[in-house]
Every structure is written in C-alpha cells, then in structure tokens.
C-alpha cells in the first residue's frame, strides 16, 4: 500500500491533534449546548442551522441523515454566501426563512462562521435572539478574537451567542506550508466543525434518553422499517424543515 505524501501526512497529524484539542477545549460547552438542544427538542422544537459561504456545508452536516436527529432545518442561502458582508442581508434571509418554516421562542439556531466577523451570520444570530431563540456559535476563537467585526454593532459572533464552540481555527484556516509557495494549504475548520456538531448532537440525544424522552432519530431507509418510521417522524414536523440539496 502506498503511503500518503509529506503534505498529506502532515495534514493527518495536524488534524488528529486538532480533534483531540477540540474535544479537550470544548467539553463543558458541548455538554451545555447539547443539554439546551435536548430540552428544546423534547418540547417539540426544531433545531436550525446556518453557515455562510463554505460554512453552509457544515450547516447541512446534521440535516436529514441516517442516525441523526430528524427535526434539524438548514437556513439556506441561495447566493452561496456572496453577500455575507452586506449589511441587512442576513437579517432579511432569516426573516424570510422564519416566514416559510417558522421559528418559535425557545428554539435554537446553530450559527457557523470560522472568522465570526461578517455581518450575515451575526445578523442571523441577533434576529434569532430577538425572537426569543438561543444561539450556539461554532467559530474559531483564536481567529475571531484577533479580527475586527464588520457588523455595525462592533461585535463578533462569539460575543452575541449563548453558547460558543471553538474550532480552534487559525487565521486563514489553512495550516500547512506549501514548499516553494507563500501560501498554506490544509484547511482545518471542516475537521473540527464536523466533530463539534456531531458531538453536540450526541450530547442532546444522551440528555433526551436520560430524561425519558425518545430521541427523534432518522433511520436508514435501507434497514427494516426505516421508511415507515421516518415517514411517521417527518409528518410530525411537516412544513418546518428545510432540507436543501
């Protein structure tokens, strides 16, 4: 078997170390955020996710997948994040989403932004809080704390959130120097972001089970009874879930 080249080997080593550091750093925050999600879902709530630009990929990580929670809805940005620095866009996007899918007081939105400085994710967070919701930020604190907010409030995402999960992202995200080039490769935010999101979901599921609630889990349609169970759960949340392709 051929072994990966030097850059790939370094990526494996750096990403493995990062995952261990992320778990160690976020243990308490994960438990608190997971508990908040579990309580909201136990009351019939929906979990909402938002990420602008590339973070939209992470926002869809928890949406409609086998073994995952059913009541998870993505706040989709049809522009792909191009206006994330335009004031007012995130607020309008959230308001349109809430009109179509609903957003109830006590529900939670996960807002994902590695830098946490652009107006769009901050506006989504503020709009959710104005409607009585809670915000879980998934952001790179080292990068965000070293940055200046582009939002009119002067605040960054971690400063407006109720819970903060730290991806430990470095400035520019990529961490591996490329020989002979001035730039780096090997972006790490997806590695830590996916880990944090799934650990948080597991914390929510564990809380629900421990408190006598049956977690609304999506079963693989390729297993016995999966389609029937999924149809029953989906009917419970009909009209509330946005599942972009």
pLDDT band at residue 4, thresholds of 50, 70 and 90?
confident
Q: Which of 109-118, 127-136, 154-163, 214-223 is predicted with the least confidence, judged by mean pLDDT?
A: 214-223
Q: How confident is the model at residue 244 (pLDDT cuts 50, 70, 90)?
A: confident
Give me the half-sphere count of Cα atoms (radius 13 Å) on the Cβ side of residue 194: 7
Q: Name the pLDDT band for 3 (thresholds 50, 70, 90).
A: low
The residue-averaged pLDDT of 86-103 equals 97
Task: Provide the whole-model pTM.
Answer: 0.95
Domains of the chain, earliest start first: 24-214+223-235 (3.40.50.10490)
What would the DSSP string read from start to end of the chain? -PPP-HHHHHHHHHHHHHHHHHHHHHHHHHHHHHHHHHHHHHTT--EEEEE-TTHHHHHTTTSS-TTSBSSEEE---TTTTTTTTSTTHHHHHHHHHHHHH---TT-EEEEE-SS--SHHHHHHHHHHHHTT-EEEEEE-HHHHHTS---STT---HHHH-SEEEE--PPTTSEEEEPTT-SSEEEE-HHHHHHHHHHHHHHHHHHHHHHTT----BPPPTTSTTHHHHHHHHHHHTTTT-----
Q: Is the confidence at residue 2, as pLDDT, over 70?
A: no
pLDDT at 5: 79
- For residue 17, the model assigns a pLDDT of 97
pLDDT in the model for residue 170 = 87
Residue 6 pLDDT greater than 70, yes or no: yes
Measured in residues, the chain has a length of: 245
Q: Is the pLDDT of residue 220 over 80?
A: yes
pLDDT band at 134 (very low <50, low <70, confident <90, very high): very high
pLDDT tens by residue, 179-193: 999 999 999 999 999
Give the model's confidence band at 141: pLDDT under 50 very low, under 70 low, under 90 confident, else very high. Answer: very high
- pLDDT at 45 > cutoff 70: yes
- Name the strands in the sheet holding 134-139, side by side, starting at the edge strand that comes first in the sequence: 72-74, 47-51, 108-112, 134-139, 163-166
When pLDDT is averaged across residues 72-91 and rounded to a whole number, the result is 95
Higher-pLDDT residue of 223, 200: 200
């Amino acid at each position: 078997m051929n072994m990966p080249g030097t850059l790939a080997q370094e990526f494996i080593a750096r990403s493995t170390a990062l995952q261990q550091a992320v778990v160690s750093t976020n243990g308490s925050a994960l438990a608190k955020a997971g508990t908040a999600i579990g309580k909201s879902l136990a009351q019939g709530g929906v979990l909402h996710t938002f990420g602008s630009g590339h973070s939209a990929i992470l926002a869809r990580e928890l949406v409609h997948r086998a073994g995952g929670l059913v009541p998870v809805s993505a706040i989709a940005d049809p522009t792909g994040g191009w206006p994330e620095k335009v004031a007012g866009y995130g607020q309008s996007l959230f308001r349109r989403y809430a009109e179509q899918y609903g957003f109830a007081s006590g529900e939670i939105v996960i807002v994902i932004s590695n830098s946490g400085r652009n107006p769009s994710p901050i506006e989504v967070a503020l709009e959710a809080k104005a409607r009585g919701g809670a915000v879980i930020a998934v952001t790179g604190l080292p990068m965000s704390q070293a940055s200046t907010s582009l939002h009119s409030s002067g605040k960054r995402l971690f400063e407006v959130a109720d819970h903060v999960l730290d991806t430990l992202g470095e400035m520019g995200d990529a961490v591996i120097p490329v020989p002979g080039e001035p730039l780096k490769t090997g972006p790490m935010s997806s590695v830590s972001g996916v880990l944090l999101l799934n650990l948080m979901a597991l914390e929510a599921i564990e809380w629900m089970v421990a408190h006598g609630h049956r977690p609304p889990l999506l079963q693989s349609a390729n297993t016995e009874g999966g389609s029937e169970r999924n149809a029953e759960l989906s009917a419970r949340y009909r009209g509330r879930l946005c599942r972009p392709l």
